[in-house]
Amino acid sequence: MDAQLTTSNSPASLVISGGGLVGALAALLLAQKRPDWQIHVLEPNSHGPAQDQRVIALAAATVELLQQLGIWEDLAPQAGAIEHIHVSDRHQLGMTRLHAKQHGVPALGYVIAAALLNTALYQAAQRQRTIIWHSGARFVSTHAERDHRLVCFEQHQQLQQLHTQLLVGADGQRSEVRTQLGIRTTSTDYQQVGIVGILQLQQSLNGWAYERFTTSGPIALLPMSDNRASLVWSVSPKLAEQLLDADEPSFVRQCQQAFGYRAGLFSAIEQRAHYPLQLHLAEHSMAHRAVLVGNASHTLHPIAGQGFNLGVRDAIALSESLQGSSDAGSYSSVAAYWQLREADYRTIIGLTDGLVRGFSNQLWPLTSIRSLALMGLDHIAPLRHQFARQTMGFKA
């Protein structure tokens, strides 16, 4: 529900800074597990949910969770099902394919506009009496006391404050919560730019998603409705500049040349945007009466489409570690959260980093090794099954 009262002196159980995908989801999961708690969400966007132009791939496990929350039913007609995944190295023999049926599921994942998902999460949060959503509120600073935290935020050009047992930083890659807590990040700049857009195709992808490693960089195509595909093309900054300046026919031609004709003919591109591809990792994700979740804690290369899915598992772990807690910000609750997350971070971040480094390199013998790896995946069923389970967001 939208906030009526924006200041309070009695400590709220939780203040979540950031009502984006991960912040809103965390609020919903926590409200479900702890109906006795008051959960405040601070979101700078003054009209409802955060605005997001991205199209994202949701792992099957994420969709299961949205189903449980009663959100998926309305979203499903607007989502594209990924029934098959084709991973290949252009001009090399290696490739691997995953089929949903072989793994006993209707889809390996789904593709959806992030804005639709944001709206659905925001609307679900509005229906929860215990979630107090502060629209147009920007977290500014925090001060720790022994048994609570003071949180200052700006709303309607006024500084306001809340006392809370636990502060959750879900305020994205440039997290102000992280800065205020003095948590440093380590960064890897992949010297690549992710060009995204919606490609219009002459024929439908029929449920196929493609990840193709090309000489200009990896290209991912994800199936959408109406013969469209979501494109993520990782290229060098120099090529990105040229591609972003190119007129539409020239861009489409260059993309087609790089990808080849496996997905048929490309005819147009809409909503072209670009993101620098970097890995930002908080040195740790907990502090006294505070935790970080989602992009505030880790921003991944979008190559493996795992960023949000990792954030979803942060939100689940947080709600599980606080489920039986009498004090949301106690050391044992916060430490339990971090214990649940650490190993998963290492696996996914290692996998994504390995993919970026291994598959953006055209040097033999690296190309031969990855071709062999892809062929191995294609022929060794247990390995393929494990890869599929990770892709679907289940623990391997």
Ligand X SMILES: Cc1cc2nc3c(=O)[nH]c(=O)nc-3n(C[C@H](O)[C@H](O)[C@H](O)COP(=O)(O)OP(=O)(O)OC[C@H]3O[C@@H](n4cnc5c(N)ncnc54)[C@H](O)[C@@H]3O)c2cc1C
Token pair for residue 140?
């500014």
Window 85-104: residues binding ligand X (CB under 6 A): none
Token pair for residue 73?
């039913």
Q: Which of 19-27, 81-89, 241-249, 326-334 is the region at the interface with ligand X (rule: CB under 6 A)?
A: 19-27
3-state secondary structure string across 298-359 = EECCHHHCCHHHHHHHHHHHHHHHHCCCCCCCCHHHHHHHHHHHHHHHHHHHHHHHHHHHHH
Q: In sequence order, what are the residues at sequence separation of 6 or more whose Cβ sits closer than 8 angstroms to the Cβ of residue 135?
A: 2, 3, 43, 45, 46, 47, 48
DSSP secondary structure letter of residue 11:
P
Q: Are 93 and 109 in contact (CB under 8 A)?
A: no
SS3 102: helix
Question: Which of 83, 171, 211, 353 forms a contact with ligand X (CB under 6 A)?
Answer: 171
CB of 345 to ligand X, least distance (A): 13
The answer to whether 194 contacts ligand X (rule: CB under 6 A) is yes
How far, in Å, are 73, 121, 165, 180, 390 from residue 144 at the CA level? 41, 30, 10, 11, 38
Half-sphere exposure of residue 186: CA atoms within 13 angstroms, side-chain side: 4
The answer to whether 54 contacts ligand X (rule: CB under 6 A) is yes
Q: Are 18 and 295 in contact (CB under 8 A)?
A: no
- Specify the residue for token string 């609307």: 123
CB of 168 to ligand X, least distance (A): 11
Question: Which of 308, 337, 359, 387 forms a contact with ligand X (CB under 6 A)?
Answer: 308
Nearer to ligand X, 50 or 65 (CB): 50
The answer to whether 19 contacts ligand X (rule: CB under 6 A) is yes
Question: Which of 3, 12, 28, 50 forms a contact with ligand X (CB under 6 A)?
Answer: 50
Nearer to ligand X, 169 or 367 (CB): 169
Site map (CB under 6 A) of ligand X, residues 270-299, x = contact: -----x------------------xx----
Q: With CB under 6 A as the rule, give the number of residues binding ligand X.
A: 35
CB of 146 to ligand X, least distance (A): 25
Window 217-246: residues binding ligand X (CB under 6 A): 232
The answer to whether 313 contacts ligand X (rule: CB under 6 A) is no
Question: Which of 302, 313, 318, 325 forms a contact with ligand X (CB under 6 A)?
Answer: 302
Q: Are 124 and 70 in contact (CB under 8 A)?
A: yes
Question: Which of 110, 139, 190, 233 forms a contact with ligand X (CB under 6 A)?
Answer: 139
Q: Tell me the C-alpha distance between 142 and 94, whole Å.
A: 52
Q: Which of 31-39, 43-51, 64-72, 246-254 is the region at the interface with ligand X (rule: CB under 6 A)?
A: 43-51
Contact residues for ligand X, defined by CB under 6 A: 17-23, 42-45, 50, 54, 56-57, 138-139, 170-173, 176, 194, 196, 232, 275, 294-295, 302, 305-309, 311
